[in-house]
Amino acid sequence: MRQENFNDEVLIVSKVSAVESTTLPPQGAPASGRSWRRLRLLFIITFAGVLLSGCTLPNFGVTKGVTKSSVNVYHLWQWFSVGAVVIGLLVVLLLAYAFLRYRRKDDKAIPKQSQYHIPLEIIYTVVPIIIVVVLFIGTLIVENPEVSNPRTDVVVNVNAFQWGWKFAYPGHSVVVIGQTTQNPTMVVPVDTNVHINLTSTDVVHGFYVKEFNFSRYALPGVTNQFTFNAVKTGIYAGQCTQLCGLYHSVMFFRVKVVNQATYDQWLVANRNVSAAAAAASATALQNNTYVPSKPTNSKVN
Amino acid sequence: MSHTITAPETSHESHDEHHGPSGLLKWLTTTDHKIIGLSYTITAVVMLVIGGALAELIRAQLVTSNGHLVSFAQYNELFTMHGSIMIYLFAGPFAFGALANIIVPIQIGAPDMAFPRLNALSYWLYLTGSITMLLGFFTAGGAANFGWVGYAPLTSSLNAPGAGADLWIGGLMLTGFSAIFTGVNLVATIFYLRAPGMTMFRMPIFTWNLLVTAILILLAFPVLTAGLIMLYADRHFGTHIFSVAGGGVPVLWQHIFWFWGHPEVYILALPFFGMATEIIAVFSKKPVFGYKGMIFATISIAALSLGVWAHHMFTTGVVLLPFFSIMSLLIAVPTGIKIFNWIGTMWRGEIWFSTAMLMAIGFLITFLIGGLTGIYLASPPLDFFTHDTYFVVAHFHSVVMALVLAGMGGLYYWGPKITGYLLNERIGKAQFWFLFIGTQVFTFPQYILGLQGMPRRMAIYPQHPEWANLNALSSLGALLIGVSTVLFVVNIIVSWKKYPAGDNPWDAQTLEWFTTSPPPHHNFYRLPQIRSERPTWDHNHPEHKAIAHGHHEE
């Protein structure tokens, strides 16, 4: 019963220029003080060198992904994992030694009642602080470019709703709408900064593409902005990660990364599809799945 | 001599007879902290069993990629109520209601809690709150179905119109007030009812941790209660605090919820840390290593926990990432101090691998895994892609299953004090291995699934049939955990009044082991001299006092 609506793979491409004509401009990275910037550059070069030399380390379960940021995230993951494995092994070995060496042999024996060892306690307070600071610096180096929004001309307005996705290309009069297992596909060019304005019509959704090593909430009343730069062409699965009601489990989408020429052709080819027909089938689909009517959100668009 | 006489020993019988009715009426009308604590313990364990049964259903649904055991709607109810029961109705009340209620007054030599009637009210609010929340299953629309975190606006009257949601809110408010009253009671008891000689720095670590926990309760729970009132007003009185349509801010709920929710993690964890600390010291026959460092670590964890709530919200894009990242990372430092102190306590000790000690060791190792994976999540870039995946599910289940291990250790360790009878060690050890191995088999596949991109709260995963094997393995782990719970119940039945415990079966150190098992109505006929945090040990082993500061020779 519940899956009967998901059988047809329908991709609706339509011209809805009136609704999608406005968009937030991408923001440039904020400027900071010059000396601080120079110092920061030094830090970044040092730590980035160390970070990126992690190529020979095991992957610890994570892939490099297909964006510029996802590779950095992968290396950060490796270094966190090195720390976790070293500390974890240290603790487990100490425990194993204690279990074997200090196992009770005699019911009546009473060991020496020592309670403090100040130098040792200072060491295992200070060393973790240093480790934490290093991890934090690594975090900042990966995080700052990842959450910055460099200027770009490729903008996609992504709108999540119960239960599907709408990808609008402002200025191109192209809109892709699809529900749940229809896998609506967002087409973007390779090696280009793609700026996303992420919104939600109803409840909180999660925009998550595994191969991007990234996710972001779609919040009602907020336009969330982020930028990614895919370096590999291909089709990548995405889905909603934040519980959003009944059909949360099947709120799928795809990101198709193509080369610039294909992208331009795709934009043109999908420009002139009848808006009316698309809107009608979109409405029909909405009525097939039970979607409660929502008050119009004046803040979003 | 060395005893402070509080009541003539000859008056045992008459002393007990003064007090109240017996049988069922005793349980209904009592203000004795030990009986209330037992009521808490029994209720919390029943909640653990109910929550566990829901978990087994969830895991059964996920064995195949297109499970048909439950519908989408039922699945949403299952994980919502599983999380809600385990966090709100089991872990919290078990941590600060059950063993705290029984043990803290005895550990500091108090006759009862500071406000015995308020204590009884706490329990009855907890019981009625629990029943209220569970009644959601019997309403037309089913139980609450928006996850235990209840993110607005999924909780609005439009998205969750049923009575189940209201019962969830109501149950949460009742148990919330129960927690607040318990917090008041614990703080007052610990500050005002300590026995002569029991200075703050002679209190056992368990009591210290409960003091810090109680203060955290008083800081955090009122915020949740306020949030719930706002939510209820939104649903029924036409306010728009969390709805965009009326100018409200949905993400405000997340701030309110996690401002309670992250301290809540430590409200749950600190009491269990305390249990593990006591157990490890007693079964290593040594004082707690770095006793004062342990206390300062607890206080720093509590302080930091109030400034890290937005690490649950990194992916909202509306919080300051670096601040919440460094605050969250820093919590690893005092937590690491605790882990090294636990190892230090065992070092050069005489480790007795009793069931309680095995449970505490199981706690340590499982908590180590949960703690280390938590450090990843404090880094926003790493949180972005693991958030809302099974990696996070595995992380917090490592943590809470560690707490369950410590709690079971607490029951094996302190149970004899309150019942007067020991549990069977052979069954206990079998229970430990099922619980410990089950926990690892349950969580490890989930870590991998999360990194492979499996989001949480999925009733089916039709696009990834290859995830089915790991999910089945995880379900096997859940089954092993279920077996361990059955073994616990079996152990209680088998051991019923079989193995008399005596006053101090473990050669333990703290004050509660000085009195009888079970203790008399007002806990003590006599008290030893209290000159350290180990009065019972000092009394039994006067020649083996802890080596003082600066007298540590290699």
Give the DSSP per-residue string, B511-538: GGGTS-SS--TTS-SEE----SS-HHHH
Can you give the residue range of the structural domain that contains B234? 29-539
Taking 80 as the threshold, does the pLDDT of residue B175 lie above it? yes
The reply to whether residue A95 touches residue B73, judged by beta carbons under 8 angstroms, is no
Chain B residues near residue A297 by CB distance under 8 angstroms:
244-245
Write the residue in B291, B376, B448 that is nearest to A115 by C-beta: B291
In a domain, B22, yes or no: no
Residue B456 phi/psi, 5-degree rounding, is -80, 170
Q: Which residues contact B173 (CB under 8 A, 6 or more apart)?
A: B129, B225, B228, B229
In a domain, B87, yes or no: yes
Residues B82-95: pLDDT tens digits? 999 999 999 999 99
In a domain, B545, yes or no: no
Query: Minimal Cα–Cα distance from A173 to chain B, Å?
Result: 27
Whether B285 and A111 have beta carbons less than 8 Å apart is answered as yes
Count of domains observed in chain B: 1
Residues B332-379: pLDDT tens digits? 999 999 999 999 999 999 999 999 999 999 999 999 999 999 999 999
Please choose, from the candidates B122, B226, B97, the residue with its C-alpha nearest in 3D space to the C-alpha of residue B174.
B122
In a domain, B58, yes or no: yes
Q: What is the CATH number of the domain that holds B193?
A: 1.20.210.10
Residue A18 confidence (pLDDT): 40
Residues B322-344: pLDDT tens digits? 999 999 999 999 999 999 999 99
Residues B391-403: pLDDT tens digits? 999 999 999 999 9
Instruction: For tokens 């007990």, name the residue.
Output: B16
Tell me which DSSP letter residue B396 carries. Answer: H
According to DSSP, the β-strands at A174-179 and A12-14 are antiparallel
- First vs last Cα of chain B: how many Å apart? 36
Contact residues, A window 136-165, toward B, CB-based 8 Å cutoff: 136, 138-140, 142-143, 146-147
State the complex-level ipTM. Answer: 0.91
In a domain, B11, yes or no: no
Q: Please write down the long-range contacts of B135-143, taking CB distance under 8 Å and 24 or more positions apart.
A: B135/B167, B136/B81, B136/B162, B136/B163, B136/B164, B136/B165, B136/B167, B136/B168, B136/B171, B137/B77, B137/B81, B137/B164, B139/B163, B139/B164, B139/B167, B142/B73, B142/B74, B142/B77, B143/B77, B143/B80, B143/B81, B143/B167, B143/B168
CA max distance for chain B: 76
In a domain, B15, yes or no: no
The reply to whether residue A208 touches residue B325, judged by beta carbons under 8 angstroms, is no
Which of B258, B315, B330 best probes binding to A when mutated, by most A CB atoms within 10 angstroms? B315
Of the candidate ranges B9-18, B159-168, B178-187, B427-436, the one whose mean pLDDT is the lowest? B9-18
Whether A255 and A261 have beta carbons less than 8 Å apart is answered as no
Taking 50 as the threshold, does the pLDDT of residue B539 lie above it? yes
Residues B470-497: pLDDT tens digits? 999 999 999 999 999 999 999 999 999 9
Q: What is the mean pLDDT of residues B412-420?
A: 95
Write the residue in A76, A111, A113 that is nearest to B545 by C-beta: A113
According to DSSP, the β-strands at A252-258 and A185-189 are parallel
Provide the percentage of residues in chain A whose pLDDT is more than 70.
72
Please choose, from the candidates A61, A58, A81, the residue with its C-alpha nearest in 3D space to the C-alpha of residue B453.
A61
In a domain, B16, yes or no: no
Alpha-carbon distance values, B329 to A130, A135, B211, B311 (Å): 11, 8, 24, 10
- First vs last Cα of chain A: how many Å apart? 35
Contact residues, A window 210-249, toward B, CB-based 8 Å cutoff: 210, 212-217, 219-222, 224-226, 237, 239-249
Contact residues, B window 74-93, toward A, CB-based 8 Å cutoff: 75-76
Query: Minimal Cα–Cα distance from B290 to chain A, Å?
Result: 5
According to DSSP, the β-strands at A234-240 and A205-209 are antiparallel
Which of B385, B470, B536, B541 best probes binding to A when mutated, by most A CB atoms within 10 angstroms? B385
Alpha-carbon distance values, B138 to A91, B89, B130, B167 (Å): 48, 18, 14, 11
Please choose, from the candidates B38, B27, B40, the residue with its C-alpha nearest in 3D space to the C-alpha of residue B123.
B40
Could you tell me the pLDDT band of residue A181, with boundaries at 50, 70 and 90? confident
Alpha-carbon distance values, B42 to A208, B39, B269 (Å): 42, 5, 20
pTM of the model: 0.89
Residues A33-75: pLDDT tens digits? 566 667 767 766 666 666 555 557 888 999 999 999 999 999 9
Q: Is A168 helix (H, G, I), strand (E, B) or coil?
A: strand
Measured CA to CA, the distance from residue B149 to residue B155 in angstroms comes to 10
B379 interfacial to chain A (CB closer than 8 Å): yes
Please choose, from the candidates A77, A26, A63, the residue with its C-alpha nearest in 3D space to the C-alpha of residue A194.
A26
Chain A residues near residue B326 by CB distance under 8 angstroms:
132, 136
Which of A67, A113, A115 best probes binding to B when mutated, by most B CB atoms within 10 angstroms? A115
Domains with residue ranges and CATH for chain A? 4-27+152-288 (2.60.40.420), 34-147 (1.10.287)
The reply to whether residue B289 touches residue A115, judged by beta carbons under 8 angstroms, is yes
Whether B187 and B115 have beta carbons less than 8 Å apart is answered as no
Residue A272 or A190, more confident: A190
| Token output for A31 | 């400027």
Residue A22 phi/psi, 5-degree rounding, is -95, 150
Please choose, from the candidates B55, B241, B215, the residue with its C-alpha nearest in 3D space to the C-alpha of residue B148.
B55
3-state secondary structure B65-114: CCCCCCCHHHHHHHHHHHHHHHHHHHHHHHHHHHHHHHHHHHHCCCCCCC
Q: Which residues contact B206 (CB under 8 A, 6 or more apart)?
A: B103, B104, B107, B271, B274, B275, B277, B278, B510
The reply to whether residue B375 touches residue A135, judged by beta carbons under 8 angstroms, is yes
Query: Minimal Cα–Cα distance from B124 to chain A, Å?
Result: 33
Measured CA to CA, the distance from residue A15 to residue A276 in angstroms comes to 8
The reply to whether residue B286 touches residue A215, judged by beta carbons under 8 angstroms, is no
In a domain, B281, yes or no: yes
